[in-house]
């Protein structure tokens, strides 16, 4: 390199020596706006009044945020019902997450085969912020079926995939998730105490699969197994879900064998190892 040459600058993702993650580095107005967007996504549609009351913010503030998001296509407004909804722009941004990893792409053929073998809806999910984030689904052809659209979130203690992944965690990590999200009861079968959850996770580890027996929705069951990476650590879970009438006690073991086999095959396809 000559004396006049300019050294090549290495690209950085943040300022040099930027290790401060304190609250002062947040852009508070942006953070509040994203809270509104996240809350709208959980509602599936809400009026300005509902959002403002839910978030304890002024309607004027919430409206300015929604108006700004609408201009970017992140939210849509339905004048007939006076409700706001997540827009196509948000889907486009969120879909980039799915493209970032090969997990969804690699899992699709396995999910299709799992659905065909069991004739029940097949699902793929991961852990995200102490909850289950559903990434992909192949629906059964039956009229009555479970539905977990990509991007849907579910409490881990009341989910087949959630319990399959919790069973691979340490007691300390499980306790931390329970402290953060509690154990809300959704049905009479929900494991709403730490003792009941711990006993179920022990049974899950022993048999190699998790069973959600109407713990999130009455009349619906789910069987799940974990998927592992090259280090033998759980990175995802696969499951089948459907009406309890089609997943009775005398079919659980046979269906669980298919689910476990699918999880093991996907683990191998990802270059992972089952511990």
| Domain housing 68 | 27-92
82 and 168 in a common domain: no
Render pLDDT for 51-95 as a digit per residue (tens, 0 to 9).
999 999 999 999 999 999 999 999 999 999 999 999 988 887 877
Note if the pTM is more than 0.75. Answer: no
The per-residue pLDDT of the chain, averaged, comes to 90
User: Who wins on pLDDT, 188 or 270?
Assistant: 188
Domain boundary among 92, 113, 138: 92
pLDDT given for residue 150 in this prediction:
86
85 and 36 in a common domain: yes
pLDDT at 14 over 70: no
147-155 long-range Cβ contacts below 8 angstroms, 24+ apart: 147/121, 148/121, 148/123, 148/241, 150/98, 151/41, 151/94, 153/42, 153/128, 154/125, 154/216, 155/131, 155/181, 155/184, 155/186, 155/216
pLDDT given for residue 230 in this prediction:
87
133 and 46 in a common domain: no
CATH of the domain at 35: 1.10.10.10
241 and 222 in a common domain: yes
Domain count, the chain: 2
204 and 171 in a common domain: yes
Strand order in the sheet with 153-155: 153-155, 131-138, 121-128, 234-243, 220-228, 210-213
* CA-wise closest residue to 249 among 202, 213, 196: 213
């Amino acid at each position: 390199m000559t004396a006049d040459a300019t050294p090549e600058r290495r690209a950085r993702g943040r300022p040099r020596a930027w290790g401060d993650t304190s609250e002062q580095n947040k852009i508070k107005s942006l953070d509040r706006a994203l809270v509104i967007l996240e809350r709208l996504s959980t509602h599936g549609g809400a009026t300005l009044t509902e959002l403002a009351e839910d978030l304890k913010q002024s309607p004027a503030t919430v409206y300015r945020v929604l108006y700004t998001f609408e201009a970017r296509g992140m939210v849509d407004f339905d004048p007939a019902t006076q409700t706001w909804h997540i827009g196509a722009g948000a889907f486009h941004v969120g879909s980039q997450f799915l493209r970032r990893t090969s997990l969804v792409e690699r899992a699709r053929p396995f999910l299709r085969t799992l659905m065909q073998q069991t004739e029940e809806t097949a699902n793929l999910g991961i852990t995200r912020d102490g909850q289950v984030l559903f990434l992909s689904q192949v629906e059964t052809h039956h009229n009555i079926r479970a539905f977990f659209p990509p991007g849907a979130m579910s409490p881990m203690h009341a989910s087949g995939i959630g319990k399959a992944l919790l069973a691979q965690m340490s007691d300390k990590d499980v306790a931390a998730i329970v402290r953060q999200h509690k154990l809300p009861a959704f049905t009479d079968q929900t494991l709403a105490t730490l003792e009941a959850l711990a006993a179920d996770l022990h049974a899950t580890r022993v048999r190699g699969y998790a069973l959600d027996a109407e713990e999130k929705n009455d009349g619906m069951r789910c069987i799940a197994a974990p998927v592992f990476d090259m280090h033998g650590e759980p990175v995802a879970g696969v499951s089948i879900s459907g009406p309890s009438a089609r997943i009775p006690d005398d079919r659980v073991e046979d269906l669980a064998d298919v689910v476990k086999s699918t999880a093991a095959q996907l683990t191998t396809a990802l270059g992972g190892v089952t511990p």
